[in-house]
Amino acid sequence: MSIGAVKTSPNRAKGLRFEASRLIVLFRDGREIHIPLKLYPTLLDATPAQRAKWVMIGPGKGFHWPDLDLDLSIDGLILGLRESIPTSPRTKTRRSA
């Protein structure tokens, strides 16, 4: 049997915790991943109370922090995607004739 023929179940989280400067994601199958908070400035700058107030998105597909307006997907966390904070759009200045 080849690797391509093996069916894998999607990654599903069961929870998370914070230790020092790390976010630790707990998976239903017993795995854990440790992620540096420096990848997520919103969480890095948040208070412990703000970090603790999260809700699960879907059946273990991600996390949402209502007070921080932050969503992180499990797939993005596994891939090591960093938080992207959009910048304000630049306005064009018109020159008068």
Angle at 51 between CA 84 and CA 72, to 5 degrees: 35
Q: State what percent of residues in the chain have pLDDT above 70.
A: 84
Percent of the chain scoring above 90 in pLDDT: 73
SS (H, E, C) the chain: CCHHHCCCCCCCEEEEEEECCEEEEEECCCCEEEEEHHHCHHHHHCCHHHHHCCEEECCCCEEEECCCCEEEEHHHHHHCCCCCCCCCCCCCCCCCC
Full-model pTM: 0.77
Note whether 23 and 37 are within 8 A (CB): yes
pLDDT (average), residues 31-57? 96
Which amino acid appears at position 56 of this protein? M
Per-residue pLDDT tens over the stretch 72-93 = 999 999 999 999 877 777 766 6
Domains of the chain with CATH codes: 11-79 (3.30.2020.40)
pLDDT digits (tens, 9 = 90+) for 25-37: 999 999 999 999 9
Least confidently predicted of 16-20, 57-61, 72-76, 89-93 = 89-93
Q: What is the pLDDT of residue 76?
A: 94
